[in-house]
Amino acid sequence: MVKVATYFAMAFGAFVFWQTMDKVHVWIALHQDEKKERLEREAEIRKMRQELLQQASENDRLPSILRSMDKDKRKLIMVVLSLALVFSLAKSFDNHESDLASKESLWDLYERWRSHHTVSHGLEEKKK
């Protein structure tokens, strides 16, 4: 009886061991395939990145012009472009001293300012 129980336990243990090893083998094989696919995708991405960087360097003419200039000329160009940007951003609407003369002209100034800056407040503030 003990020999039969031992034999049964050993057979069951071997069965469990082989089933577990089969699952581990399948899991390892799947992860190896996933790793291989991931590495292939990363290699493809690196290749495309290199091609794009090469195309960008071939098409990049303005920085090469700027690199050929000396530092003083580059600084001057940057200052001029910055000032042009500031002046374009600072463009504003006309207001005069007469806009502050009465309450109605002040509200007209406010409405012009609001429409210029696209601020959407209700006109109920005017009634207050």
Token readout for 35 is 């790793």
Is 29 in the same domain as 53?
A: yes
Is 84 in the same domain as 115?
A: no
Token readout for 103 is 């309450």
Distance between CA atoms of residues 99 and 102, nearest Å: 7
Is 1 in the same domain as 52?
A: yes
Is 56 in the same domain as 66?
A: no
What percent of the chain is predicted at pLDDT more than 90?
Answer: 9
Residue 120 DSSP code: -
Query: What is the model's pLDDT at position 122?
Result: 60
Q: What is the pLDDT of residues 16-61, one digit of tens each?
A: 888 888 888 888 888 888 888 889 999 999 999 999 888 877 776 6
Is 4 in the same domain as 52?
A: yes
Question: Hey, what amino acid is at 83?
Answer: L
Token readout for 115 is 């429409």
Q: Which domain holds residue 15?
A: 1-60
Distance between CA atoms of residues 13 and 99, nearest Å: 97
Is 82 in the same domain as 111?
A: no
Is 20 in the same domain as 71?
A: no
Is 3 in the same domain as 48?
A: yes
Among all chains, which residue has been given the structure tokens 């504003």?
A: 92
Distance between CA atoms of residues 70 and 96, nearest Å: 46
* Whether the predicted model's global pTM rises above the 0.85 cut: no
Is 26 in the same domain as 54?
A: yes
Is 68 in the same domain as 56?
A: no
